[in-house]
Chain A
Amino acid sequence: QKEVEQNSGPLSVPEGAIASLNCTYSDRGSQSFFWYRQYSGKSPELIMFIYSNGDKEDGRFTAQLNKASQYVSLLIRDSQPSDSATYLCAASGYSSASKIIFGSGTRLSIRP
């Protein structure tokens, strides 16, 4: 059974601090990794995707991938109250998005 594991949280972080969200995956064949943000009552929206080992930065967000450890993380710098949401990690094989597997999500709360 291919799985993507996330700590359900809630993760509480003070405003302005760095929020660190973690994800592990079981399928070594996974090639592409996605972080989606889902506000309460809304649908998921893609924040970042990463394919290569190392870091990928986009504004306040940094995705980190370590394929040897089967570990993906998302760092949010200068956390804002608007970052409070559930963050879904997903993994897929390179050849077909139909095999995308989602984690159950980590609920992040930014406290003022």
Chain B
Amino acid sequence: ETGVTQTPRHLVMGMTNKKSLKCEQHLGHNAMYWYKQSAKKPLELMFVYNFKEQTENNSVPSRFSPECPNSSHLFLHLHTLQPEDSALYLCASSQTLAGGEGEQFFGPGTRLTVL
């Protein structure tokens, strides 16, 4: 596996379900990110982890719970979601948090549908 991988690629869940999204980066990067992409809306930054410590929570509802056990893995735990949470969830990583050269590499995303 190379780059940034995400599983599952597609997920359909009911509002009472609990599920988790997984992201793994094989690039040796130190920073990882969760983004939400909804139709016709800008990419929304959700969480940032640097050296597995959370450095940013962009006012995300508590029904989304991130976990970063190490610099290579990032999870997003989901529970009691709402239909408006249906979106493409993208994971990204970058070598450092330095914005000037902080190219982010994105995973393929998980297409989430909440019924």
Contacts and interface: CB of A to CB of B under 8 A. Distances in A.
Interface string A41-78: 01111100101000000000000000000000000000
12 contacts: A31-B100, A32-B101, A32-B102, A44-B90, A46-B105, A90-B43, A96-B99, A97-B98, A97-B104, A98-B31, A100-B99, A104-B41
A92 B43 contact: no
B31 A102 contact: no
Interface of A: 4, 8, 31-32, 34, 42-46, 49, 51, 88, 90, 92-105
B55 to A, nearest CB: 6
Contacts of B100: 31-32, 51, 94
Given A42-B108, A45-B106, A97 B40 contact: no
B106 A97 contact: no
A51 B100 CA distance: 7
A97 B31 CA distance: 9
Given A97-B98, A97-B102, A43 B42 contact: no
B40 A92 contact: no
Interface in B40-89: 40-43, 45, 48, 50, 55-56
A102 B48 CA distance: 15
Nearest to A104: B42
B40 A43 contact: no
Nearest to B102: A97
A10 to B, nearest CB: 12
B25 interface: no
B107 A100 contact: no
Given A42-B108, A98-B56, A103 B103 contact: no
Contacts of A104: 40-42
Contacts of A90: 43
A43 B90 contact: yes
A94 B99 contact: yes
Nearest to B47: A98
